[in-house]
């Protein structure tokens, strides 16, 4: 795909592959109406109003459908667009797609509809990227946050920053170009302005880490000795029966992974019980895997059995994870009384260091304490409240913002040193260019292709 490529008419199935109630085929481009007129029985179109009729191939009926027309520029792509809603069987959708292709459209590439929307200025790049984020979001929270960008929250903020930089640059250039008529701006004004704009960029970048965590998710590993209730906890947290739960030690032999939505997508990993030596080969492999999964984990839930108390094996595991972020879940709290909930004291006595470790008492069997554990997990996992996140950014956008920031930092140093404003203007211009990259006003084919490659066909 090339930015300068002439826009031909493209088509794709916009609904997921498989059988469903409804299937949608989308056509976008100059020939969209010509094509539909060749294959549809009811072509008196009014903008945004459904027409009911039949898709036919040489008068052979293919399916009974609804057709929704959009006239350029009032469509998703900014071009003429036709959406055909047909019955959702794999083959009927495919038959219609083939018919559209036969009549002059070409198969759309990944994200090509959205790419056209961007190139036709229906949205800026941050909004186009938000479309991909919404489609691929692993949690409902992230989908909601991405909608903020679709509605232009990041675009507005970047434009605000850009206007401010532009204003400063105009003043500097006016002073340089018309020294007789316009006084060059005061250095104090420049310093103050640069500091202020850098602070605004920092505010957007402050949520960069949180954005990345929300987008990619984190891995949480459940570890502990055999039989302390790791699999039971895994199931309880996920509300499923996937892991095998038995009272024979060493029954979880491979590593199980499932995704849990805690606002942040969490890959929950149930590991085989960590013991010094497995009783057989398979179990040993499981134990090896669990040690590896410790390395991959961003956070660990260390499960111990409150009824048995803490022993050397538990301490050995604690030693293994001591440099990691972890939570202690004291399981089987249902079979002990409140005076036996004293793991903290036991740990304090047994451990050589003075750190007091806090435990959460749970029962994977009865569900006691599980909600609290979820809350602790969420707070540890995010160290951010998703609703407090003002701007969602991706790595590309963060890099552009950092470039802008670095250029402004140079301009700030130069203005503090009262260097020639001609020189300062060079850094200010680079700051603007980096922002143009963010919004997509200055972008290469390669970067664009890379962005839209991550879309699905039909979007
Ligand atoms: P794992 O080897 O650490 O994965 O342990 P499992 O989840 O397989 O559990 C081992 C045994 O402990 C099973 O018989 C479970 O039913 C039992 N168990 C797990 N959690 C609890 C709990 O909270 N309370 C009680 N009473 N038993 C539990």
pLDDT of residue 3: 43
pLDDT of residue 454: 75
CA dist 131 and 141 (Å) reads 15
User: CB of 232 closer than 6 A to ligand 1?
Assistant: yes
DSSP state of 252: -
Helices (runs of H) and strands (runs of E) counted in the chain: 16, 12
Q: Provide mean pLDDT across the span 216-240.
A: 86
Task: State how beta strands 106-107 and 299-305 pair.
Answer: unpaired
Task: State how beta strands 22-28 and 10-13 pair.
Answer: antiparallel
A 10 A CB-CB count for 295 gives 8
User: CB of 331 closer than 6 A to ligand 1?
Assistant: yes
More confident site: 365 or 382: 365
User: CB of 96 closer than 6 A to ligand 1?
Assistant: no
pLDDT of residue 244: 46
Strand runs labelled E in 71-144: 81-87, 106-107
DSSP state of 342: -
CA dist 247 and 292 (Å) reads 25
CA of 87 to the centre of ligand 1 (A): 48
CA dist 363 and 20 (Å) reads 41
pLDDT of residue 228: 92
Q: Which residue, judged by its Cα, is nearest atom 14 of ligand 1?
A: 247
CA dist 276 and 288 (Å) reads 10
CA of 302 to the centre of ligand 1 (A): 14
Q: Which residue, judged by its Cα, is nearest atom 8 of ligand 1?
A: 245
A 10 A CB-CB count for 188 gives 11
Joined tokens for residue 284: 């040993």
Ligand 1 test: best mutation among 241, 362, 364, most atoms within 8 Å of CB? 364
pLDDT of residue 4: 40
386-402, pLDDT tens digit by residue?
555 778 888 899 999 99
Please, what is the angle between helix 125-136 and helix 140-150, to 10°? 160
Nearest to 263 by CA among 299, 298, 214: 214
Q: Which residues pair with 25 in a beta bridge?
A: 13, 84
CA of 378 to the centre of ligand 1 (A): 23
Rounded alpha-carbon distances, angstroms, from residue 6 to 9, 26, 120, 357: 10, 19, 12, 65
More confident site: 115 or 355: 115
More confident site: 33 or 296: 33
User: CB of 246 closer than 6 A to ligand 1?
Assistant: yes
Q: Is the pLDDT of residue 354 over 70?
A: no
Q: Which residues pair with 57 in a beta bridge?
A: 60
Rounded alpha-carbon distances, angstroms, from residue 223 to 93, 329, 418: 47, 10, 59
Q: Is the pLDDT of residue 243 over 60?
A: no
CA dist 93 and 19 (Å) reads 9
pTM here is 0.67
259-295, pLDDT tens digit by residue?
887 777 888 887 755 555 545 554 555 456 666 777 7
Phi-psi map region of 57: left, alpha, beta (phi>0 left; psi -120 to 50 alpha): beta
Q: Which residue, judged by its Cα, is nearest atom 18 of ligand 1?
A: 229
């Amino acid at each position: 795909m090339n930015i300068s490529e002439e826009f031909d008419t493209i088509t794709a199935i916009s609904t997921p592959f498989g059988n469903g109630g409804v299937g949608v085929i989308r056509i976008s481009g100059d020939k969209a109406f010509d094509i539909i007129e060749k294959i549809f029985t009811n072509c008196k179109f009014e903008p945004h109003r459904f027409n009911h009729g039949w898709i036919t191939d040489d008068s052979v009926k293919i399916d009974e459908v609804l057709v929704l027309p959009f006239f350029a520029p009032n469509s998703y792509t900014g071009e003429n667009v036709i959406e055909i809603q047909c019955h959702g069987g794999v083959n009927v959708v495919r038959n219609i797609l083939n018919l559209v292709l036969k009549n002059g459209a070409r198969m759309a590439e990944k994200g090509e509809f959205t790419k056209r929307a961007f190139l036709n200025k229906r949205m800026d790049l941050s909004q186009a990227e938000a479309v991909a984020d919404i489609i691929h979001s692993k949690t409902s929270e992230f989908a909601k946050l991405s909608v903020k960008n679709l509605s232009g929250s990041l675009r507005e903020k970047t434009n605000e920053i850009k206007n401010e930089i532009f204003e400063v640059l105009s003043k500097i250039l006016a002073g340089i170009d018309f020294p007789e008529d316009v006084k060059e701006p005061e250095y104090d004004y420049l310093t103050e302005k640069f500091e202020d704009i850098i602070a605004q960029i920092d505010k957007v970048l402050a949520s960069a880490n949180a954005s990345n965590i929300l987008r990619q998710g984190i891995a949480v590993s459940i570890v502990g000795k055999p039989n302390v209730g790791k699999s039971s906890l895994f199931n309880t947290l996920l509300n499923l029966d996937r892991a095998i739960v038995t009272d024979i030690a060493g029954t979880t032999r491979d590593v199980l992974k499932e995704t849990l939505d805690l606002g942040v997508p969490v890959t929950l990993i149930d590991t085989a019980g960590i013991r010094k030596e497995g009783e057989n080969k398979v179990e040993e492999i499981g134990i090896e895997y669990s040690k590896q999964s410790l390395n991959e984990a961003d956070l660990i839930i260390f499960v111990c059995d409150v009824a048995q108390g803490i022993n050397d094996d538990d301490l050995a595991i604690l030693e293994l994870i001591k440099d990691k972020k972890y939570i202690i879940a004291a399981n089987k709290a249902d079979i002990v009384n409140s005076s036996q909930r004293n793991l903290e004291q036991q740990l304090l006595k047994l451990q050589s260091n003075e750190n007091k470790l806090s435990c959460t008492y749970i029962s994977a069997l009865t569900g006691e304490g599980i909600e609290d554990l979820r809350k602790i997990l969420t707070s540890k996992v995010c160290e951010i409240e998703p609703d407090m996140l003002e701007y969602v950014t991706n790595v590309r956008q963060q890099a552009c913002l950092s470039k802008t920031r670095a250029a402004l930092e140079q301009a700030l140093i130069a203005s503090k040193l009262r260097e020639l404003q001609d020189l300062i203007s060079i850094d200010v211009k680079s700051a603007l260019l980096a922002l143009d990259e963010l919004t997509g006003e200055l972008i290469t084919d390669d970067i664009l292709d890379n962005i839209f490659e991550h879309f699905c066909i039909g979007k």
